[in-house]
């Protein structure tokens, strides 16, 4: 008995499973009629394949498509972020210019509108210091107290307060046995 | 590997792997390279904007093929008048792809015309299966997943489509057994 044509079609597509696969192959080996039917099916696939898109056409379409998608989708993704999310990028030059501009405006304000002591005293509390002999003390005049300025007792008590254990011996005198 | 459609690396991976299959399938439904390019591009846009996570590459591919198939069929259903007008405008705008397309048909002569006529005359359920099989290169399992039918059903439809194609191409000079 010859093979059902649906089986041949599946055989052609490599979709037949065992045991049908080996049974079909075996039958085809000795049945010329079925081989001819299989060839006919192959012929249909072959003729359909004549209308295949050439690979280079697909490749160029893929490149074109990617370009458009990148522009469209990434363009959307890269839409202007809200002001607070926008990164502020500034070169050193423009930063200096901006700072200088601020200074000019600030100083310019004083120059143009002037300042009266009354106005400033309201903002900045005035404080004047008279520099005379009463409240100026020269640093060089301050006496520095060296180690000689302290008594042995003072030194020992200082060291004791810092937690040092001081053992004193006097040169040339033997302790009493 | 999990595929997140908005992840740029995943998107690029899926784009590179699926573009050929999608454009082949789409082209053989609409038979116009410019339109096929637009529709495939739209499918990828939807893919990106939908922000879907697929468990693997295959599922992403099935989804894209389903979308392209629907877009292509909708395009055909939209009516011949509208598309004919659109084609006219597109061709006048010297679509590069359409030019090449026309040239190829001219070069291949009658064979392609006959094949297209035979494929176009197939009922939709058979036409889609044979396009996915012969031009998309999908196996029965994948076709079943895309169309939401069983593998057994795919097998039957592929066979029936081949039988019908055989009948309509029989007697054609270009079709040699």
Per-residue pLDDT of chain B (177 residues; tens, 9 = 90+): 788 777 778 888 888 889 999 999 999 998 888 889 999 999 988 888 888 888 888 888 999 999 999 999 888 887 665 656 666 666 655 555 666 666 666 666 677 888 888 888 899 889 999 999 999 999 999 999 999 999 999 999 999 999 999 888 875 544 444
pLDDT, residue B65, reads: 94
Tell me, yes or no, whether A27 lies in a domain: yes
Q: Measured at the alpha carbon of residue A74, what is the angle toward residues A71 and A80, in degrees to the nearest 5?
A: 110
- Both B84 and B3 in one domain: the answer is yes
Tokens 């003072």 correspond to: A154
Tell me, yes or no, whether A150 lies in a domain: no
pLDDT of A163 over the 90 cut:
no
Of all residues in chain A, the percent with pLDDT exceeding 70 is 68
Residue A128 pLDDT level (bands cut at 50, 70, 90): low
- CATH number reported for the structural domain that contains residue B114 in this entry: 1.10.10.10
* DSSP secondary structure letters along chain A: -PPPHHHHHHHHTT---TTHHHHHHHHHHH-HHHHHHHHHHHHHHHHHHTTPPPHHHHHHHHHHHHHHHIIIIIHHHTPPPPGGGS-----HHHHHHHHHHHHHHHHHHHHHH---HHHHHHHS-------STTT---GGGSPP--GGGS-HHHHHHHHHHTT-------TT-PPP-
Q: How far is it, in rounded angstroms, from Cα A41 to Cα B134?
A: 12
pLDDT of A71 over the 90 cut:
no
B36 vs A contacts (CB less than 8 Å): 61
Residues in A 13-72 with any Cβ partner in B closer than 8 A: 13, 15, 39-41, 43-45, 47-54, 57-58, 61-62, 64-66, 68-69, 72
Average pLDDT of every residue of chain A: 77
The average pLDDT across A56-71 equals: 86
- Both B29 and B99 in one domain: the answer is yes
Q: Give the residue from B83, B108, B133 where a domain finishes.
A: B108
- Both B93 and B78 in one domain: the answer is yes
User: How crowded is residue A86: how many other Cβ atoms within 10 Å of its Cβ?
Assistant: 9
Q: Give the residue from B108, B136, B159 where a domain finishes.
A: B108
Instruction: Give the count of domains, chain B.
Output: 2
Asked if residues B150 and A5 have their Cβ atoms less than 8 Å apart, the reply is no
- Both B86 and B2 in one domain: the answer is yes
Q: Measured at the alpha carbon of residue A126, what is the angle toward residues A122 and A127, in degrees to the nearest 5?
A: 165
> Of all helices (H) and strands (E), which one includes residue B151?
helix B151-169
Whole-number Cα distances in Å, A131 to A128, A134, A137:
9, 8, 10
- Both B84 and B155 in one domain: the answer is no
pLDDT of A37 over the 50 cut:
yes
Q: Of A33-37, A117-121, B121-125, B150-154, where does mean pLDDT reach its minimum?
A: A117-121
Tell me, yes or no, whether A108 lies in a domain: no
- Both B171 and B131 in one domain: the answer is yes
Q: Domain containing B50: what range?
A: 1-108
pLDDT, residue B140, reads: 93
- Both B100 and B114 in one domain: the answer is no
Instruction: Give the count of domains, chain A.
Output: 1
pLDDT, residue A167, reads: 78
Question: B112 and A50 in contact by Cβ < 8 A?
Answer: yes
pLDDT, residue A80, reads: 40
A50 vs B contacts (CB less than 8 Å): 108, 111-112, 115
- Both B14 and B96 in one domain: the answer is yes
Tell me, yes or no, whether A79 lies in a domain: no
Tell me, yes or no, whether A11 lies in a domain: yes
- Please indicate if any CB of chain A lies within 8 Å of the CB of B46: no
- Alpha carbon distance, N-terminus to C-terminus of chain A: 133
pLDDT in tens, A131-154: 676 677 666 666 667 777 888 888
- Both B92 and B153 in one domain: the answer is no
Whole-number Cα distances in Å, B16 to A22, B5, B49, B172:
37, 13, 18, 38
Question: B115 and A65 in contact by Cβ < 8 A?
Answer: no
Name the residue of chain B whose CA is nearest to A65's CA.
B41
Q: Domain containing A27: what range?
A: 5-49
Q: Give the residue from B108, B128, B161 where a domain finishes.
A: B108
**Does the model's ipTM exceed the 0.90 cut?**
no
pLDDT, residue A2, reads: 80
Question: A43 and B100 in contact by Cβ < 8 A?
Answer: no
Question: B174 and A47 in contact by Cβ < 8 A?
Answer: yes
Name the pairing type of β-strands B3-4 and B53-54. antiparallel
Report the DSSP beta bridge partners of residue B4: B53
């Amino acid at each position: 008995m010859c093979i059902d044509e649906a089986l041949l079609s599946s055989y052609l597509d490599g979709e037949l499973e065992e045991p049908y696969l080996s049974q079909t192959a075996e039958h085809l080996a000795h049945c010329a009629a079925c081989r001819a039917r299989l060839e006919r099916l192959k012929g249909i696939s072959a003729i359909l394949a004549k209308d295949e898109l050439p690979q280079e056409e697909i490749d160029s379409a893929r490149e074109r498509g990617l370009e458009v998608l990148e522009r469209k989708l990434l363009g959307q993704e890269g839409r202007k972020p809200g002001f607070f999310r926008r990164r502020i990028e500034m070169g050193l030059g423009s930063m200096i210019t901006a700072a200088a501009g601020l200074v000019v405006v600030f100083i310019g304000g004083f120059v143009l509108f002037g300042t009266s002591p009354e106005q400033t005293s309201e903002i900045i509390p005035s404080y004047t210091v008279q520099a005379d002999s009463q409240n100026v003390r020269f640093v060089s005049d301050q006496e520095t107290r060296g180690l000689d300025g302290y008594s042995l007792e003072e030194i020992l008590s200082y060291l004791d307060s810092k937690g040092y254990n001081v053992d004193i011996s006097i040169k040339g005198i033997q302790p009493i046995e | 590997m999990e595929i997140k459609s908005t992840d740029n690396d995943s998107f690029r991976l899926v784009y590179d792997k699926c573009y050929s299959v999608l454009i082949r399938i789409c082209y053989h439904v609409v038979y116009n390279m410019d339109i096929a390019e637009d529709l495939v591009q739209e499918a990828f846009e939807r893919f990106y904007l939908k922000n879907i996570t697929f468990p693997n590459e295959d599922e992403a591919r099935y989804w894209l093929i389903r979308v392209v198939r629907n877009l292509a069929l909708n395009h055909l259903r939209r009516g011949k008048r509208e598309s004919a007008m659109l084609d006219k405008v597109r061709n006048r705008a010297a679509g590069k792809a359409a030019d090449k397309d026309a040239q190829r048909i001219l070069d291949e002569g009658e064979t392609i015309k006959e094949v297209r006529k035979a494929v176009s005359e197939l009922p939709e359920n058979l036409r889609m299966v044979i396009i996915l099989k012969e031009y998309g290169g999908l196996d029965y399992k994948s076709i079943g997943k895309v169309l939401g039918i069983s593998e057994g059903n795919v097998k039957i439809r592929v066979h029936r489509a081949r039988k019908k194609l055989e009948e309509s191409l029989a007697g054609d000079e270009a079709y040699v057994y």
